[in-house]
Structure 1
């Protein structure tokens, strides 16, 4: 009898094992099919995108050819000749090319706002929406912290534009439309007032502002907001507006978070990376940089190392660096302590050759800009970061970038840099440090003017053409 029971148990066990293997096999097959399906979908999307790009290029070429032919016939009919391009040296006054400087150009299309304005040095104008004060100045009045916070660029840019000759009161001549809304400041207040409802309240607040823009003027719908500017000065970027993808995805974002891995919230083709705000005058004026001090600290960092997020914070880089640099007499790598206040922090940074800038929760950090303002070489440890002005400023010449996977080699890398290379990087910093300094009042060459120069590159000349805009 016992033998029969054992056989029965063995049979049941074998049956269960076979069933389990069958289930695993089915799931494995389904997983393989699922990933194959994803690959097929991705391939179809790639093919569709290539086809669309080829079609778009064909349409652009045909349109250009047709426009050229129409223009040629019109000028011939008028007894003239083909009109030279707007930047042609034979027609220096393109908007007036039918006048003596180019007498036979009867049908030259004006350059319009492509001419440099002698007052501003720029080729564009900005219209600022007149939103109710609850979206901007009331917040500044009630939340003093917002003015000097590193996210205070949303206030600074608005106020600089209000008094800038770039501003136009005529929306018909505007190239860009600025929406003055202090989102980070509002969210900060809502976190204090509403707690976990803060994000939902902020979302409704953004939608209310957008509703005013869309309802009261025709300019948003004319381009689906592509020539409209929003400032998102925090690491979360547009995510503080939960419905941003549905409502403002095509607009231009001014944001410090140039994380190239976050393609949804940051698009390097349409958006502009801006420096965070350092409101301390000793930094932005260059006063601290001019103080006579020895560079007796080889590398410096003071800030959060052990966060409650554990190794998720900074991807564990700061903990690794703390262990790596422990015991190095000419290196400071430590948490903030009561015995070293802000004055102490600034002067230790001023005394340092290298300022370590490991990522925190996100890639960007104000330290890199503070370092430049005191002549310290930023050492960046954030793989996906995109810095401001990368199209015009060679960051390799003024900083050191260490891959996150090479953080254990930090000391070896820095010690191997020759003094001549250090001096070259300092000289490069001296040329460009004002580009990351929000000076007050703003001056040519500082952060505001540099951001405006970047914005100028986003200007589109054919407002109604779907082929000249991002999707």
Structure 2
């Protein structure tokens, strides 16, 4: 660290004035397709798409795919470059064309593989639009004959058909792997690693078992996935899978996709260990116009009422006390309280897969976390494939890093239950740890700390620093913690109540420093000493982080365009065995320990599986 000042000067030089803010980042700039959607959703200005739209609407539903295919070939839209060009001209026309083609390939031709190839490109384009915007632009089917619901339904159908494995039988076109790249031997490792009885994994019999095909390894548990196609209230909660999955809350979509394509899924609720309730509320509530009067600043009553309606009408919810066999994913700092304010009355015993173990600052009236350690599972936020790969490419070799510490972020006071936030507004209050860190900008030349900068500058800091600070913000969890591992930076948690995901599976202290958040001055001296005198221990932390990071990845399924990027980019150079060492597998292993052999309420020798069987007459 003798060259720390020079290293920071080089980094600062690379980010020369004029200073840009976060709003200058490309992610916030208007996209090429947006003006066309807003001013000409009918695409009447296009000599190709305007007439096509009129002709499509005038064509009988069952004949539309032939028209779509004819135009696809005529306009050369099997060429990806041409497709990208046309998406800027008439995004909804392109999505409509791709939808009809994928739907036909799945339901008429019966080829999951071909349907996925068609859907994958549509997923990339439709994912650019919030589901409400898509429906508005489509005019409720009057302008373009598609809807967010129809796209979501097709996505779910493809994932259900993609569980893979087993012999399959003569009437099934069998895929060797499932939608997430796992084959039978991979699943054998998943199930055998956490077998409660320690018994070997038996093969599934000739009749199959839920989505698990004959000869495949018997799943360690079975999960029934509530279907939005059959539950109107749930359909409102689980909208826009393609739109919601790429963001930091996307694990709500990712785990829905995972269970749909998992051989552990069963469509027979009588044999289920768990009931998964899909929803994308972290994404939808963070877009404040999705539900009337609902954003991240107050509890959301519209979504609360929808959850209550789903459970009130469910024939499975009351089988056990407090929803004990139900699974929910909560992907934001709001926890369960924001989207489902009455959860303590409805599902106090449900298993929550959640990012947030603590409290959300805007909810000062909520003083008890929705996370319960003995039953819930902390999961990581979702990083995109592009972010994981980009951070890896930008990362400087650890021995060449000359910046001691990095932090980019806004000041945040503590939660109201800890102390009055008005009394903790700046660095004079140690609990406002972000303000304390930001003050280092003027006192420590070895630090790269700042506020309100574009993502690129933050990424440059992450990939040029030895240590990266992860302080508490509006709540405990932060995507920056998981970014540090892919950036090759040693994470320093200043977040007293945060629990690192999957500590049951991995040795977190080997890769992470967790320091009392009120002791930043002592921390700075400690890190300086380590950088100068204990390079060997720093390298051990760094190498352990490289081993740990893949457990915090949510790889895409094969219905997403990023699946191609995942394989084309050789992501296995970052995570050699990414398909069996990832966040999905970690969640699956931890859930397996919560599934007991006595899952039914009643059982006796010779009884059929399920909860509702009647005792035999004697």
Task: Answer yes or no: same fold by TM over 0.5.
Answer: yes
Report the secondary structure of 1:333's partner residue: strand
Aligned counterpart, 2:286: 188
1:271 counterpart (376, 380, 390): 376
1:424 corresponds to 2:529: no
Q: Which residue of 1 aligns with 2:305?
A: 204
* Local SS of the residue matching 1:204: helix
SS of 1:343's equivalent in the other structure is helix
CA distance in 2, matches of 1:244, 1:198: 12
**Contact 2:462-2:487 within 8 A present in 1 as well:** yes
Residue pair 1:436, 1:446 contacting (<8 A) in 2 also: yes
- Deviation of 1:407 (Å): 2.1
Deviation of 1:177 (Å): 1.1
| Residue 297 (structure 1) shift | 1.7
SS at match of 1:429: helix
Which has the higher mean CA deviation after the structures are superposed, 217-226 or 356-365? Answer: 217-226
Which residue of the partner structure matches residue 396 of structure 1?
509
Match among 410, 421, 428 for residue 304 of structure 1: 410
Select the residue among 493, 497, 514 that pairs with 1:384: 497
- The equivalences for 1:131-210 within 5 A come to 131-132=228-229, 146-189=244-287, 191=289, 194-195=292-293, 199-210=300-311
Tell me what 1:348 maps to: 461
* TM-score, normalization by structure 1: 0.66
Greater C-alpha Rg: 1
1-side partners of 2:391 and 2:218: how far apart? 25
Q: Distance in 1 between matches of 2:380 and 2:218?
A: 22
- Mean CA deviation greater in 196-205 or 235-244: 196-205
1:456 to 592, 601, 611: 592
On the 8 A contact 2:328/2:352 being kept in 1, the answer is: yes
1:16-50, CA deviations, whole angstroms, 9 ceiling, x for partnerless residues? xxxxxxxxxxxxxxxxxxxxxxxxxxxxxxxxxxx
What SS class does the counterpart of residue 277 from structure 1 fall into?
coil
Deviation at 1:88, TM superposition (A): 8.5
Per the alignment, residue 334 of structure 1 pairs with 450
Mapped partners of 1:284, 1:228: distance in 2: 35
Map of 1:33-432 to 2, 5 A cutoff? 119=216, 123-132=220-229, 146-189=244-287, 191=289, 194-195=292-293, 199-213=300-314, 217-218=315-316, 220-240=318-338, 241-259=340-358, 265-283=370-388, 287-288=392-393, 294-305=400-411, 311=424, 315-337=431-453, 341-417=454-530, 418-432=534-548
User: How far is the alpha carbon of 1:330 from its aligned partner?
Assistant: 2.4
How far off is 1:327 after superposition? 3.4
Q: Write the distance in 2 (CA, Å) between the matches of 1:118 and 1:266.
A: 38
Kept in 2: contact 1:143–1:185 (CA 8 A): no
Cα 1:166–1:291, aligned 2, differ >3 Å: closer, same or farther? farther
CA distance in 2, matches of 1:302, 1:118: 52
> Do the aligned partners of residues 317 and 148 (structure 1) sit closer, same or farther apart at CA in structure 2, a change above 3 Å counting?
same
Cα RMSD, aligned residues only: 3.7
Query: Which blocks of at least 5 consecutive residues in structure 1 are unaligned?
Result: 1-85, 96-111, 467-471
1:103 matched to which residue of 2?
A: none
Between structures 1 and 2, the one with greater helix share? 1
Give, in angstroms, the shift of residue 392 of structure 1.
2.4
Q: Secondary structure of the residue that 1:355 maps to in structure 2?
A: strand
Q: Extract unaligned runs of 5+ from structure 2.
A: 1-195, 204-208, 360-365, 415-420, 558-577, 603-618
1:440 aligns with 2:553: no
Question: Closer, same or farther in 2 for the Cα pair 1:143/1:388, shift >3 Å?
Answer: closer
* 1:138 Cα deviation from its structure 2 partner: 6.2
The answer on whether the counterparts of 2:403 and 2:446 sit within 8 Å (CA) in structure 1 is yes
- Which secondary structure does the structure 1 equivalent of 2:372 belong to? coil
Deviations 1:146-200 (A, max 9, x none): 3322112111110121112221222233221101122223433555552269722
Are the counterparts in 2 of residues 140 and 146 from structure 1 also a CA contact under 8 Å? no
Higher relative contact order (CA 8 A, sep 6+): 2
User: How far 1:343 sits from its partner (Å)?
Assistant: 2.8
The number of residues matched between the two structures is 356
* Partner SS for 1:416: helix
Structure 1 residue 345: deviation in Å?
2.2
1:404 match: secondary structure: coil
Point out the more displaced range, 298-307 or 152-161: 298-307
TM-score (norm 2): 0.52
Q: Work out the CA distance in 1 between the residues paired with 2:201 and 2:308.
A: 45
2: CA distance between counterparts of 1:120 and 1:93?
Answer: 6
Aligned with 1:405: secondary structure?
coil
Q: Is the 8 A contact 1:317 1:358 kept in 2?
A: yes
8 Å CA contact 1:300–1:331 kept in 2: the answer is yes
2-side partners of 1:452 and 1:262: how far apart? 30
User: CA 1:410 to 1:201, structure 2 compared with 1: closer, same or farther past 3 Å?
Assistant: same
1:167 counterpart SS class? coil
DSSP-derived class of the 2:537 partner: helix
Contact 1:381/1:404 (<8 A) preserved: yes
- Offset of 1:415 from its aligned partner? 1.4
